[in-house]
Amino acid sequence: MSKGETITISKQEYQQLLEYKSEVELLKHQFAQLQRMLFGRKSERFVLPDPNQGVLFDLPEEKAVEEKTEEITYTRSVPKKEKKHPLRTPLPAHLPRKEELIEPDNVPENARKIGESITEILEYTPANIYVRKIIRPKYIVDSTDERTQIAIAPMPLLPIPKGNAGASMIAYILVSKFVDHLPYSRIAKILKRQNLHIADSTLGGWANKAVSDTLFLVYDQIQNEIIKTDYLMADETPIPVLTEDKPGATHQGYFWVYYDPVRKMVLFDYQKSRGREGPRHVLKGFKGFVQSDGYAAYNKLGSGIEYLACMAHLRRKFEIALDNDPKRAEKVLTLIQKLYSIERQAREAELSYDQIKQLRQEKAVPVLEEMEKYLIEENHYILPRSAIGKAFKYALQLWPRIKRYVDDGRFKIDNNLIENSIRPVAIGRKNYLFAGSHNGAKNAAIMYSLMATCKLNEIDPYQWLKKALETIPGYPADQIPDMIPEK
């Protein structure tokens, strides 16, 4: 073919070329994603380049000048610098102090005290494990009807009836497992260093018994209370589960997580699948707004449910597309950055819900309108199967849900709060790998719900668990809602 020669192709051949190009873009995107997973950064933060910021290494070339040698001598005085001592962080005032008085040797009796030097040192005492020995004296009581009766005090209520583990020990095991993410085998080794030999299976048995017999009552109350709101966030995360159905392999179960950002309450619900029946069962009777990603299982959950989407998921799509189409991706990410700046302004000013709504209507709505216009106009010029094409498709499909957060000051711009609640599950998966059974996964859902709710309300999980395990066995059923860990 000579230079400048025109080739005529049919419409069908042109369409086939577009399909090939789209396929190439898809493969390039998949390859870039694989490289990113192996070698790339994990942060999704997008920072705009500052036009006023100079480039470190691209310096202007210096003109060649004639070299001259010149000898200069001078005398200067160097001021003596005072040596700076590092400042110590003061030790917390709430910690108990054990005073230790050290007198100097050979001090004469007529010496006068002029002051004292005080040094505070942080020390640590290992956990104090002890045996609680309950002694209940028995008495013979003579009766007027010549019958002999034996009087003995009733046994205190225990978290495990007829068990030999108290509330404090079980609380320690549960916090170690579900807050500190330690498997039972590691907890057993820690106790062994203190000369307490307990099999990890026994530790797991105590924990599961306390959860299934006692703590599930509080979990049920959280499930009843959380659907009384009209705004929830929802997400799901996988959990491998050992089952008899798959010897030598694990079943892929799921924790469905629901978060009330107003009351700061979290519910983990274990389901064997990722199907719609999970959220449909939990949200039965719920009326209001559910904020989630674009997963289809959250659609059509009920006639009284409306939906919001997550700006962070949208940002993630365009951040991934930066290598594919920097110009378009940066344009959208810049607009998203403006929206988050408005949210930061509201948060720092500690605005009320009504004030947040007003601020969004004034500042966020114009940005959203600009973004929507740009997405619609540019969508005609991109390949659908490319990374930027997928980002545009995701944005346009969910746009009514994405921009809905400006309608109510309670609504959040994204689902990051619920993703923070899920993070302990990911850490736990790395440490103890899987749940031992479906019942074990259900117990884990109970504990993650209780511990996440404690964390959100800044409640010490150990102290709450100890109190709950001591109190609930004798608590009236109608007062169980009072045990929900809330401020």
The H-or-E segment that residue 265 falls in is strand 265-271
Instruction: Provide the percentage of residues in the chain whose pLDDT is more than 70.
Output: 80
Residue 63 has pLDDT above 90, yes or no: no
Please tell me the distance from the alpha carbon of residue 384 to that of residue 19, in angstroms, as a whole number: 10
Lookup result for tokens 């020390």: 123
Q: What number is the average pLDDT over the span 242-249?
A: 73
Sorting pLDDT into bands at 50, 70 and 90, what band is 44?
A: low
Predicted confidence (pLDDT) per residue in 418-445, tens digit: 877 777 766 766 666 567 788 888 999 9
Q: What number is the average pLDDT over the span 398-411?
A: 94
User: What pTM did the predictor assign?
Assistant: 0.77
Neighbours of 449 (CB within 10 A): 26
Per-residue model confidence (pLDDT) at position 119: 86
Sorting pLDDT into bands at 50, 70 and 90, what band is 377?
A: very high
Please tell me the distance from the alpha carbon of residue 92 to that of residue 153, in angstroms, as a whole number: 43
Q: Where are the alpha helices (DSSP H) in 211-276?
A: 216-226
Please tell me the distance from the alpha carbon of residue 385 to that of residue 322, in angstroms, as a whole number: 15
Sorting pLDDT into bands at 50, 70 and 90, what band is 50?
A: very low
Predicted confidence (pLDDT) per residue in 306-348, tens digit: 999 999 999 999 999 998 889 999 999 999 999 999 999 999 9
Per-residue model confidence (pLDDT) at position 406: 95
Per-residue model confidence (pLDDT) at position 56: 39
Lookup result for tokens 């691209």: 58
Q: Which of 265, 221, 228 shows the shortest CA–CA distance to 480? A: 221
- Give residue limits of the domains in the chain: 166-310+415-487, 311-414
Please tell me the distance from the alpha carbon of residue 174 to that of residue 177, in angstroms, as a whole number: 5
Q: What number is the average pLDDT over the span 90-110?
A: 86
Contact in structure between 140 and 152 (CB atoms under 8 Å): no
Contact in structure between 160 and 210 (CB atoms under 8 Å): yes
Strand order across the 305-308 sheet: 265-271, 250-260, 231-242, 288-291, 305-308
Q: What number is the average pLDDT over the span 1-21?
A: 65
Contact in structure between 268 and 292 (CB atoms under 8 Å): no
Predicted confidence (pLDDT) per residue in 246-302, tens digit: 676 788 889 999 999 989 999 999 998 888 888 888 998 899 999 998 888 888 888
Per-residue model confidence (pLDDT) at position 61: 46
Please tell me the distance from the alpha carbon of residue 220 to that of residue 267, in angstroms, as a whole number: 10
Per-residue model confidence (pLDDT) at position 161: 84
Instruction: Provide the percentage of residues in the chain whose pLDDT is more than 90.
Output: 44
Residue 372 has pLDDT above 80, yes or no: yes
- For the ranges 74-78, 193-197, 228-232, which has the lowest average pLDDT? 74-78
Beta bridge partners, 307, equal 290
Helices and strands in the chain, H and E counts? 14, 7
The H-or-E segment that residue 254 falls in is strand 250-260
The one-letter code for the residue type at 429 is R
Between 487 and 163, residue with greater pLDDT: 163
Per-residue model confidence (pLDDT) at position 74: 58
Per-residue model confidence (pLDDT) at position 214: 92
Q: What number is the average pLDDT over the span 75-96?
A: 71
Sorting pLDDT into bands at 50, 70 and 90, what band is 464?
A: very high
Q: Which of 386, 432, 453, 449 shows the shortest CA–CA distance to 182? A: 432
Per-residue model confidence (pLDDT) at position 55: 40
C-alpha dihedral, 59 to 63 to 67 to 71, nearest 10°: -50
Sorting pLDDT into bands at 50, 70 and 90, what band is 58?
A: very low
Lookup result for tokens 């707004």: 289
Contact in structure between 311 and 319 (CB atoms under 8 Å): no
Query: Helix 326-348 to helix 387-402 angle, to the nearest 10 degrees?
Result: 30
Per-residue model confidence (pLDDT) at position 46: 55
Q: What number is the average pLDDT over the span 35-44?
A: 60
32 Cβ contact partners less than 8 Å away, ≥ 6 residues apart: 323, 324, 387
76 Cβ contact partners less than 8 Å away, ≥ 6 residues apart: none
- For the ranges 7-16, 166-175, 350-359, which has the lowest average pLDDT? 7-16
